[in-house]
Structure 1
Amino acid sequence: MMRDLYNALPDDRPITSISVVEELAGCPVNYTAVSKTHDQDIDADLYKDGFFRRVTRYLCHSKTEGYMGYIVENILIINDRDCRPTGFTIIEQTQDTGQKAFKKKQICYKAVPRHMASQSVTDIIILSRSKVAPEGFTLVGEMNGLCICYKPGPVPPAPTPNKSSAQPSSSPLPYGVNPAGGVSSSTGGNGALYPGLSPSRPAPQPPGGPVSGPLSPPPPLPPRNIGAPYNSPSHASRDTSTLYGPPQSALFGVPFTLNQKYVKSSQNGSTSNIPNPGKKSRQQVEDEYYYSFTLEQDVLQRPTS
């Protein structure tokens, strides 16, 4: 009974992903198929049947799948030969069979990071008789005699992690671990990494470091057998790679300096050669750096044999 009551409540969470399937049985996990029209409760097939067999297309949406932190902000219907609108992803194939999604018209949606969204799409319905969107819904367009509408809503705040589970209330360790960095001691200490814990003996000095006592000379090499090859076992060799300290990196000693043309410009008081990136609006940044991940989505949606 509680489950039925929960399902009857409106779900105002934002939609995070939209797809199209050929068969209702092929609706992906965690997706909801729009199988019936909202006004007449008939089949919500968005495809025009072929000459020799019936071809079906059903719209599906999810509120948990998709790219992490992204929500659907808008939905459009465009002609097949129109250019893809900036920031939108075209649903080109069915997710269950990999067939072409539609002919003549295409459905595309815009998914943006939650903090950049101006609105969210919380529900999608299909109308078979009415050409006007119900109250609270926005009309997208018409496909195969059916009208697609979506319900806009505000952008909900991002979920915050539970602070109580970030660190246990009690710890068997004599010190506490600070998530922001550093170690705090509950029993005092000398400020070391592990307060209250001291080694039983001092750590050995690294190679090349200070030596507390006189350095013993290395043992002499055994006499070389004249008749033996140079690399024979009788001619022992010593590894002296650590006698002069730890090995240096490949960039050791390479100076890092500013380009001379910028140095001369700053000394002369001129800043004409220094590039100025300028300020860009959110839409300009999105238009310039947007990447739809269409190829990656197509690869993930292809059925595996």
Structure 2
Amino acid sequence: MNNASDRRDSVEAPITEVCVVSGKERCPQGFKLLGETEDGKDGDLWTDKFFGKKVTRYICFNRAYANVGGNVLADVALLGERDIVPTGYSQITATADTGEVALKKRILCIKMLPRNMTDSAICDIKLLAKTKRPPPGFTFVGEVNSISVSYKMGPVQRTPGPGRPAPGPPQMSRQQSQPLTEQPVPASPSYAPDVQRQYHTLPADIHRQRADVIPLTRQMSTVKIATAVDGIPFEINKKLGADSIKDFSLPEMQYQTEQEIENKYKYDFTAERTAAARIPPNF
């Protein structure tokens, strides 16, 4: 870094991109490679060899500090292969350079948020091999290939939103800008409320000029709309009248023992068992 401002940006700027590559030399331009742990071990996250060929995986991240309108890294998670990815998270399943599987038996998930929707974001990621305790100010994420991953949160510089123009004078519609004496009175009943509302807001002298509106709106407000049930009489069924139930009496309930009820309503399914016995077993 050339100056204190660059050093401050490189440490405090939120991370905006994360990827996994298959080799140290394949780190994208502008990204920071986590090629080694903080205690001097190789930062390879692959767990073993594959068909005798050494397979390596390394995490890279980028801080696009000038891109103040983009997304920032809000969270990182390491899940098992059968774990459910939380809502709002995306998986890094393939390497950015070769498209191969990113991690073995583990899934790296990240959560991105628009810069203006969060006050803090992840600004640094560290790897540790000898000690599993994260550095001061860092949060432990998980462990891959005996390497622990942790991150540090930092403040997010908000982007000023676009200013809203000052409200101007209310614009008059074409109907309002024309003289009221030149406006035709609507003839359709669907416009009656608008005509009525306009009439009540006119000055007194205009009321006199537009007196012809009154009988029109009153006439339209009293129009009866025919319905499908018009002319159908509604009355109570004579069977439900008082004369039909005046001699009604509640029947006397006869007490029965449990055995009496069993004897009266017992059903042994003899017919069904007999019919089933006549069906061949292989039918």
TM range (shorter): 0.5 to 0.7
Q: How many residues end up aligned between the 2 structures?
A: 164
Whole-angstrom CA distance in 1 between matches of 2:148 and 2:119 = 24
Q: Is the 8 A contact 2:121 2:154 kept in 1?
A: yes
TM-score (norm 2): 0.52
Whole-angstrom CA distance in 1 between matches of 2:161 and 2:35 = 34
The Cα of 1:19 is off from its aligned counterpart by 0.4
The Cα of 1:25 is off from its aligned counterpart by 1.4
Matches within 5 A, 1:46-195: 46-50=45-49, 51-64=51-64, 69-158=70-159
Whole-angstrom CA distance in 2 between matches of 1:116 and 1:94 = 29
Q: Is the 8 A contact 1:73 1:118 kept in 2?
A: no
Q: Is the 8 A contact 2:69 2:159 kept in 1?
A: no
Whole-angstrom CA distance in 2 between matches of 1:35 and 1:4 = 25
Q: Is the 8 A contact 2:68 2:115 kept in 1?
A: no
Whole-angstrom CA distance in 1 between matches of 2:86 and 2:23 = 28
1:73-129 per-position Cα deviation (integer Å, ceiling 9, x unaligned):
010000112121111111000001110101211111100111222520000000011
2:28 pairs with 1:28: yes
Q: 1:100 to 1:140 in 2, by over 3 A?
A: same
Whole-angstrom CA distance in 2 between matches of 1:8 and 1:67 = 18
Whole-angstrom CA distance in 2 between matches of 1:67 and 1:103 = 34
Q: 1:49 to 1:68 in 2, by over 3 A?
A: farther
Q: 1:155 to 1:33 in 2, by over 3 A?
A: same
Whole-angstrom CA distance in 2 between matches of 1:67 and 1:89 = 21
Unaligned stretches of 5+ in structure 1? 162-178, 182-256, 258-305
Task: State percent identity of aligned pairs.
Answer: 35
Unaligned stretches of 5+ in structure 2? 167-189, 191-283
Aligned residue in 2 for 1:3: 2
Whole-angstrom CA distance in 1 between matches of 2:68 and 2:110 = 13
2:116 is paired with a residue whose SS is helix
1:235-256 per-position Cα deviation (integer Å, ceiling 9, x unaligned):
xxxxxxxxxxxxxxxxxxxxxx
The Cα of 1:156 is off from its aligned counterpart by 2.0
Q: Is the 8 A contact 1:19 1:61 kept in 2?
A: yes
Q: Is the 8 A contact 1:12 1:153 kept in 2?
A: yes
Whole-angstrom CA distance in 2 between matches of 1:67 and 1:5 = 20
Q: Please give the root-mean-square deviation of Cα atoms over the aligned residues, in Å.
A: 2.9
Q: Is the 8 A contact 2:19 2:60 kept in 1?
A: yes
Q: 1:119 to 1:4 in 2, by over 3 A?
A: closer
1:11 is paired with a residue whose SS is helix
Whole-angstrom CA distance in 1 between matches of 2:155 and 2:3 = 26
Q: 1:98 to 1:67 in 2, by over 3 A?
A: farther
Q: 1:149 to 1:159 in 2, by over 3 A?
A: farther
The Cα of 1:159 is off from its aligned counterpart by 6.5
Matches within 5 A, 1:182-221: none
The Cα of 1:49 is off from its aligned counterpart by 2.4
2:12 is paired with a residue whose SS is coil
Which AA in structure 2 matches 1:55?
A: V
1:241-297 per-position Cα deviation (integer Å, ceiling 9, x unaligned):
xxxxxxxxxxxxxxxx9xxxxxxxxxxxxxxxxxxxxxxxxxxxxxxxxxxxxxxxx
Aligned residue in 1 for 2:17: 17
Q: Is the 8 A contact 2:24 2:58 kept in 1?
A: yes
The Cα of 1:154 is off from its aligned counterpart by 2.1
1:3 is paired with a residue whose SS is coil
Whole-angstrom CA distance in 2 between matches of 1:156 and 1:143 = 32
